[in-house]
Chains A and B, each alone.
Chain A
Amino acid sequence: NAGVTQTPKFQVLKTGQSMTLQCAQDMNHEYMSWYRQDPGMGLRLIHYSVGAGITDQGEVPNGYNVSRSTTEDFPLRLLSAAPSQTSVYFCASSPKQGIYNSPLHFGNGTRLTVT
């Protein structure tokens, strides 16, 4: 009963480095999304996907890339890390059927620090 699994839990990067945050779900959910959480700003949508092969930008997409080659996986790539990307990142999924009131299922988050 894994749900949404995010790895790693913690990561420290130097400015300019690249990395991929992994997200996998085993609930066969069509919808997946990435949020970042910053103090005083709540959670903001970075990118989302409505199914394999389909992605779109959210509110704060700059500096991030995503792809959705399978239903299960939705990795988030930081191309060239900047201190402004220091944040807690959440991956979430939800089913398409009954989407109207389906809540998001969240992973446990990744705390990223960019120095």
Chain B
Amino acid sequence: AQSVTQPDIHITVSEGASLELRCNYSYGATPYLFWYVQSPGQGLQLLLKYFSGDTLVQGIKGFEAEFKRSQSSFNLRKPSVHWSDAAEYFCAVGAQGGGTSYGKLTFGQGTILTVHP
């Protein structure tokens, strides 16, 4: 069965500092990988996704993530954090092929990001 681990429950950074949120997955083949963000009082929003090809993917709001097969990781990065980035971030993995829905995802437990001014 596939699984996702986000080792950091809570991360605090200063505004303007760089950010890296960790995500490790377990899956038997090449997975589909996603990062979602959940801001207070709002629904989850897709930040970026990896399906195939270039292992460095760009997303919205200046975020990027790098797929590293050898490390089974898909870490999310941002070079300079803004106060509005404070939210909870979820990494998710989806199955490829076999008629499986692309929306049937396994999520990590989430990382809460706090941004200090």
Decide whether A and B are members of one complex.
no
Interface residues of B (CB under 8 A from A): none
